[in-house]
Amino acid sequence: MSILEVQNLSKKFGGLTANQDVSMTVEKNSITAVIGPNGAGKTTFFNMITGVYQPTSGIILLENEKLNGLKPHVVCQRGISRTFQNIRLFNEMTVLENVMVGMHTHLKAGLFGILFNLPTTRKEELATEIKAYQLLEYVGLDSFLNEKACNLSYGAQRRLEIARAIAASPKILLLDEPAAGMNPKETKELTQLIKKMRDEFNLTVLLIEHDMKLVMEISEQIFVLDHGEKIAEGKPEDIRNNPKVIEAYLGSGAVHAG
């Protein structure tokens, strides 16, 4: 069963076509990858799904409901959370606070409750804090709760972004290069974490990644973009041997396949 359906999505920035008629069906509960050389249009594709950019044309459907035209926070409420290629954390806030911010969209207490410190608000805040703590434990950051986010290592910051994204209880988690800047050990742990989250949170994971070992190991379905167009889709074994894909990567001067 599909959860996300993208039909003929295009995005133009002036004269530059970043995405051209990209169509994809993402299966519910799958781990699906979007790969392609630098500048292929992968992040632009995520930005359209999450409402950061409006598509020039095309349709985005989450569980058969149109997402076009919705603002990013509304897309998040509908059930799509993401991490960013360039990490976006609140650097001066603590690790715990960063995750609590991720839960904000689901909190019932309004400003009134917070200002007047109503018992229901306190209760909700406590519940938020407990959940945030549990998520940090889950991603292995529970010993850094009160540390400022900017003091974490690069790999830890990426895991904090994941914890924050998960805090919104999404149906779909979009990860934009989650392994970038990680060492092999961290990448291996991340691979396990992604699988575990998919299974335990009943998630669908859509990820952009240049680390082909990670992609080939965890993806059930792979979509390949090149110069804004989808040039291939299939299972890892099909993609690995697809001449068009090999050509795209060779042409880009960077050989990642293998």
Ligand X SMILES: Nc1ncnc2c1ncn2[C@@H]1O[C@H](COP(=O)(O)OP(=O)(O)OP(=O)(O)O)[C@@H](O)[C@H]1O
Q: Which stretch binds ligand X (CB under 6 A): 13-21, 106-114, 149-157, 185-193?
A: 13-21
**Can you tell me whether residue 66 is helix, strand or coil?**
strand
Site for ligand X in 56-95 (CB under 6 A): 85
The residue to which tokens 């804004």 are assigned? 228
* Phi, psi for residue 131 in degrees, rounded to 5: -65, -40
Nearest to Mg ion by Cβ — which residue? 43
Site for ligand X in 16-45 (CB under 6 A): 16, 18, 36, 38-44
CA distances from 236 to 127, 173, 177, 233 (A): 41, 20, 18, 9
Nearer to Mg ion, 99 or 222 (CB): 222
Q: What is the 3-state secondary structure (H, E, C) of 85-122?
A: CCCCCCCCCEHHHHHHHHHHHHCCCCHHHHHCCCHHHH
Nearer to ligand X, 42 or 171 (CB): 42
Site for Mg ion in 179-238 (CB under 5 A): none
Residue 38 contact partner, candidates ligand X, Mg ion, none, CB within 5 to 8 A by sort of partner: ligand X
Per-residue contact string for residues 42-71; x = within reach of Mg ion by CB under 5 A: xx----------------------------
* Least distance from Mg ion to the Cβ atom of residue 176, Å: 6
Site for ligand X in 160-219 (CB under 6 A): none
* Least distance from ligand X to the Cβ atom of residue 39, Å: 4
Q: How far is CA 258 from the centre of its chain?
A: 24
Assess 98 for contact with Mg ion (CB under 5 A): no
Assess 13 for contact with ligand X (CB under 6 A): yes
Nearer to ligand X, 41 or 102 (CB): 41
Following DSSP, what letter does each residue of 7-57 receive, concatenated?
A: EEEEEEETTEEEEEEEEEEEETT-EEEEE-STTSSHHHHHHHHTTSS--SE
Q: Are 34 and 219 in contact (CB under 8 A)?
A: no
Nearer to Mg ion, 141 or 175 (CB): 175
Q: Are 32 and 235 in contact (CB under 8 A)?
A: no
Strand 172-176 with 80-82, pairing:
parallel
Nearer to ligand X, 42 or 159 (CB): 42
Nearer to ligand X, 75 or 141 (CB): 75
Q: Which stretch binds Mg ion (CB under 5 A): 17-25, 34-42, 57-65, 146-154?
A: 34-42
Q: Counting Cβ atoms within 10 Å, is residue 210 exposed (0-12), middle (13-18) or buried (19+)?
A: middle
Nearest alpha carbon to residue 17 among 72, 64, 58: 58
Nearer to Mg ion, 42 or 164 (CB): 42
Q: Could you list the residues that contact ligand X (CB under 6 A)?
A: 13, 16, 18, 36, 38-44, 85
